[in-house]
């Protein structure tokens, strides 16, 4: 269902441009199928999600057929799947759940995915050796976000495991895979860190009370305390560390854009108006700065420009902030100015043109925003 939002008549050009851009991106992925994609959201399942949106926008049979083909490719891969959202079964689960609206038969696939994930969750939890265990990209947080893609869920085993991890910082302290010889760290980002766990609890559960509410409230307080004031804006380091030299990128995956979007949604869910107001003000201050000051790389959702546009729009939609809406549209325009679809190497939802295209269609009201939950963001409405 297309969403309505305050896209001013002067932005009709942006809307048309986003549509044309997304169709070109879809056709490029159709004509040059990526080699060896994973089954998850950064692979087949993500392409299926983009094709579903393009089918809705254009009514074109080629996109409808491609959506079904990519879901089939994801379901029939002969590997031993991980539970991960971006590389494994949970990505397939989420997109199949959205596809039930047009094809009831996908409910069987969703049930099979849920049963598979449930079978991987029976062991007693133990301290994580890697953030893959609990994070949004590959772990329990992403799996829980996939379960809550279309409707709030009962607190179950996934929420229980995330609460267990959050109870003791030692349980989510682990070496960064790129720096295995460094001392273990507590990761603060949305993609791999504590912000992703907080997003999963506060975006999916039908009742935020008891242990999950206590864990979320404690995490929210701590996440706010780890901020660093930089005069005209606040930033978050990627990890808690006294010995590492850190960057202060403000992106979706690491830093202020993603963290503030999570803080805002968590504060609203926990009825903490003061913290919600802090997050909305801080996001406005961030959005008012020049994009160069955000220290991003590229235009994709992960650490790129369009990821920030989604973060701005998520709070804009919740608060009605005209400044954040126009920042989101300004960034969307900048993305289309910079991206040459013929020459963009990455095609995934997380790191490439399918994510850029889907975000543009969503920001300009062409398609529904439920998928934003998979990125730990409250969908725009």
| Binding residues for Zn ion, total number by CB under 5 A | 3
Whole-number minimum distance, CB 139 to Zn ion, in Å? Answer: 16
Using CB under 5 A, which of 57, 302, 363, 374 touches Zn ion?
302
- Phi-psi map region of 110: left, alpha, beta (phi>0 left; psi -120 to 50 alpha): alpha
Minimum CB distance to Zn ion smaller for 26 or for 193 = 193
Q: Is 310 in the site for Zn ion (CB under 5 A)?
A: no
Q: Which stretch binds Zn ion (CB under 5 A): 98-106, 149-157, 300-308, 356-364?
A: 300-308
Whole-number minimum distance, CB 297 to Zn ion, in Å? Answer: 8
State whether residue 228 is helix, strand or coil.
Answer: strand
Q: What angle do CA 13, 299, 307 make, to 5 degrees?
A: 85
Q: Measured between alpha carbons, how far is 211 from 373 in angstroms, rounded to an integer?
A: 22
Minimum CB distance to Zn ion smaller for 110 or for 190 = 190
Minimum CB distance to Zn ion smaller for 147 or for 192 = 192
Q: Which residues contact 257 (CB under 8 A, 6 or more apart)?
A: 250, 251, 283, 286, 294, 307, 308, 311, 312
Minimum CB distance to Zn ion smaller for 133 or for 303 = 303
Minimum CB distance to Zn ion smaller for 253 or for 269 = 253
Minimum CB distance to Zn ion smaller for 139 or for 155 = 139
157 phi/psi in degrees, rounded to 5: -60, -40
Question: Restricting to residues 67-126, which ones interact with Zn ion according to CB under 5 A?
Answer: none
Whole-number minimum distance, CB 376 to Zn ion, in Å? Answer: 13
CA atoms within 13 A on the CB side of 9: 0
Q: Measured between alpha carbons, how far is 44 from 81 in angstroms, rounded to an integer?
A: 13
CB neighbours (10 Å) of residue 269?
20
Q: Which stretch binds Zn ion (CB under 5 A): 14-22, 194-202, 294-302, 316-324?
A: 294-302
Q: Which residues contact 298 (CB under 8 A, 6 or more apart)?
A: 304, 305
Q: Which residues contact 267 (CB under 8 A, 6 or more apart)?
A: 220, 273, 274, 275, 276, 278, 279
Whole-number minimum distance, CB 162 to Zn ion, in Å? Answer: 21
**Which helix or strand (DSSP H or E) is residue 229 part of?**
strand 228-229
Whole-number minimum distance, CB 251 to Zn ion, in Å? Answer: 6
Whole-number minimum distance, CB 250 to Zn ion, in Å? Answer: 12
Whole-number minimum distance, CB 356 to Zn ion, in Å? Answer: 14
Q: Is 303 in the site for Zn ion (CB under 5 A)?
A: yes
Minimum CB distance to Zn ion smaller for 15 or for 303 = 303
Q: Measured between alpha carbons, how far is 191 from 182 in angstroms, rounded to an integer?
A: 20
Q: Which stretch binds Zn ion (CB under 5 A): 48-56, 151-159, 288-296, 301-309?
A: 301-309
Minimum CB distance to Zn ion smaller for 14 or for 253 = 253
Whole-number minimum distance, CB 148 to Zn ion, in Å? Answer: 23
Q: Is 301 in the site for Zn ion (CB under 5 A)?
A: no
Q: Measured between alpha carbons, how far is 114 from 132 in angstroms, rounded to an integer?
A: 19
Question: Restricting to residues 239-268, which ones interact with Zn ion according to CB under 5 A?
Answer: 253
Contact set with Zn ion (CB under 5 A): 253, 302-303
């Amino acid at each position: 269902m297309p969403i309505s939002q305050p896209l001013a008549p002067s932005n009709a050009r942006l809307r048309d441009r986003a549509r044309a851009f997304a169709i070109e991106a879809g056709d490029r992925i159709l004509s040059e199928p990526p080699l060896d994609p994973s089954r998850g959201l950064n692979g087949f399942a993500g392409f299926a999600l983009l094709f579903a949106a393009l089918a809705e926008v254009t009514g074109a049979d080629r996109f409808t057929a491609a959506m079904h083909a990519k879901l089939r490719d994801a379901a029939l891969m002969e590997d031993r799947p991980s539970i991960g959202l971006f590389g494994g079964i949970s990505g397939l689960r989420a997109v199949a759940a959205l596809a039930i609206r047009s094809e009831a038969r996908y409910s069987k696939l969703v049930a099979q995915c849920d049963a598979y994930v449930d079978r991987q969750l029976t062991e007693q939890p133990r301290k994580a050796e890697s953030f893959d265990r609990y994070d949004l990209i590959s772990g329990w947080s992403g799996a829980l976000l996939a379960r809550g893609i279309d409707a709030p869920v009962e607190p179950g085993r996934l929420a229980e495991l995330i609460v267990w991890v959050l109870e003791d910082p030692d349980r989510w302290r682990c070496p960064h895979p790129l720096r295995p010889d460094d001392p273990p760290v507590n990761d603060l980002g949305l993609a791999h860190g504590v912000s992703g766990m907080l997003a999963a609890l506060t975006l999916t559960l039908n009742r935020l009370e008891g242990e999950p509410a206590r864990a979320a409230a404690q995490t929210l307080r701590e996440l706010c305390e780890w901020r660093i004031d930089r005069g005209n804006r606040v930033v978050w380091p990627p990890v808690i560390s006294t010995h590492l030299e850190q960057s202060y990128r403000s992106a979706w995956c690491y830093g202020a854009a993603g963290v503030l979007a999570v803080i805002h949604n968590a504060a609203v869910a926990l009825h903490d108006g003061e913290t919600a107001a802090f997050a909305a003000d801080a996001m406005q201050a961030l959005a008012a700065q020049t994009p160069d000051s955000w220290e991003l790389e590229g235009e994709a959702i992960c650490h790129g420009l369009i990821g920030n546009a989604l973060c701005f729009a998520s709070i804009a939609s919740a608060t009605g902030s005209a400044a954040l809406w126009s920042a989101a549209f300004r960034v969307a325009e900048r993305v289309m100015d910079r991206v040459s679809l013929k020459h963009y190497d990455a095609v995934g939802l997380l790191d490439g043109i399918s994510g850029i295209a889907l975000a543009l269609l969503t920001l300009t009201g062409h398609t529904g925003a439920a998928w934003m939950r998979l990125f730990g963001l409250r969908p725009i409405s």
